[in-house]
Amino acid sequence: MVELELEQGVAVVTIDRPQARNAIAPITMDQLDEALDAADEAHVLVIRGAGDKAFVSGGDLKELSALRTEEQAAAMAWRMRTICDRLAAFPGPVIAALNGHAFGGGAEVAVAADIRVAAADIKIGFNQSALAIMPAWGGAERLAALVGKGRAIMLAGAGTILGAAEAERLGLIDQVWERPDFENGWRALARALATPQAGEIKRVVGGVTPEEAVGAFARLWVADEHWAAADAVLTRRPA
């Protein structure tokens, strides 16, 4: 089951499949697409797993083992890669809140987000090599963009499992909180980023022309929200 929570510009998508450690099955893909459709007007999107054991443990091998031909495997890979592409292309910031371990396809879902935050006791790894396969949902390319080509080949090729602190050191995770602070931490971050300006910043850092960057600033400058905030600052300032 995939659940969607919408509140004050924050969309929280939760993969809740405790019987499979939140692994991705074909029906999960359908439900993720539906959740993304319903979240399209949010300013910020959070994706997480239910519970505290697994973010996403990968693809649901029990269900995906029925795929026996190259055509079937390719169709499945394209299906989930398209969903990861949708996450990456979401107009506002996307946060992967790693409430638990992110292995294989789960790590691929995580790197489709703009920001990865984690509880200190989680592990993450592109360990598809243990099944004699490779990342298929865009994760290899996104991993390379985060940690460099050579390190991506080493990590995914060897199936290395990283703790949260090491993943943060390598730039794979952006923020780590101790478990008691994790829930409040990611929710506070999501609320802080649920603004039009955060969406514009995401667009600019993704690569635009200087003219487009200046245009984004100018649009924010003339918006009512800017002047309300500026007036609030000016009224607090002594003459």
Q: Are 167 and 118 in contact (CB under 8 A)?
A: yes
User: What spatial distance separates the first Cα and last Cα of the chain, rounded to whole Å?
Assistant: 57
Half-sphere exposure of 219 (CA within 13 A, CB side): 11
Whether pLDDT at 239 is above 70: no
| Residue-wise pLDDT tens digits, 35-74 | 999 999 999 999 999 999 999 999 999 999 899 999 999 9
Q: Rounded CA gap, 113 and 128, in Å? A: 20
Give the 3-state secondary structure percentages of the chain, helix then strand then coil, rounded to 5: 55, 20, 30
Q: What is the DSSP string of 56-109?
A: E-SB-HHHHTT--SHHHHHHHHHHHHHHHHHHHH-SS-EEEEESSEEETHHHHH
pTM as predicted: 0.94
3-class secondary-structure state, position 90: coil
Q: Are 202 and 153 in contact (CB under 8 A)?
A: no
Tell me what pLDDT residue 236 has. Answer: 82
CATH T-level assignment (fold) for domain 2-193: 2-enoyl-CoA Hydratase; Chain A, domain 1 (3.90.226)
| Residue-wise pLDDT tens digits, 147-175 | 999 999 999 999 999 999 999 999 999 99
Whether pLDDT at 238 is above 70: no
Q: How many residues belong to the chain?
A: 239
88: nearest Cα among 1, 207, 213, 3? 207
| Residue-wise pLDDT tens digits, 16-37 | 999 999 999 999 999 999 999 9
Query: Domain coordinates of the chain in residue numbers?
Result: 2-193, 208-236
Whether pLDDT at 145 is above 70: yes
| Residue-wise pLDDT tens digits, 181-215 | 999 999 999 999 999 999 999 999 999 999 999 99
pLDDT grade for 237, boundaries at 50, 70 and 90: low
